[in-house]
Amino acid sequence: MQNGFGFVDYSNAAELLGLSIHTLKRWVSQKRISFYKIGSRVFFKPDELLNFVNRNRMESISVYRK
């Protein structure tokens, strides 16, 4: 669910990234991904999730042999 500020919760962030909620929570505890914490609640900004994906993009290596 996205709120008026453009934040999403664990469930929606995990869905956007194609991850389990458990994996996303582990990444938050390891501080591998940007998040916002208000009290005990954790939120994410969708544009920052996209930036995270782009920063972690790996180029494929094409190996073609005859």
Is 9 buried (19+), middle (13-18) or exposed (0-12) by CB count in 10 A?
middle
60 found inside a domain: no
Q: 3-state DSSP call for residue 41? A: strand
**Residue 40: its pLDDT value, please?**
93
Residue 2 lies in a domain: no
Q: Is residue 34 included in any domain, yes or no?
A: yes
- In a domain, residue 63? The reply is no
Residue 39 lies in a domain: yes
Instruction: Identify the DSSP state of 11.
Output: H
Range of the domain at 17: 10-55
Asked if 17 and 9 touch (Cβ cutoff 8 Å), the reply is no
- How many domains are contained in the chain? 1
| 47-58 tens-digit pLDDT | 999 999 888 888
The pLDDT tens digits of the residues spanning 11-62 come to 999 999 999 999 999 999 999 999 999 999 999 999 999 999 888 888 877 7
In a domain, 41, yes or no: yes
Structure tokens at 24: 């996303």
Q: Is residue 19 part of a domain?
A: yes
Predicted local confidence at residue 66, as pLDDT: 66
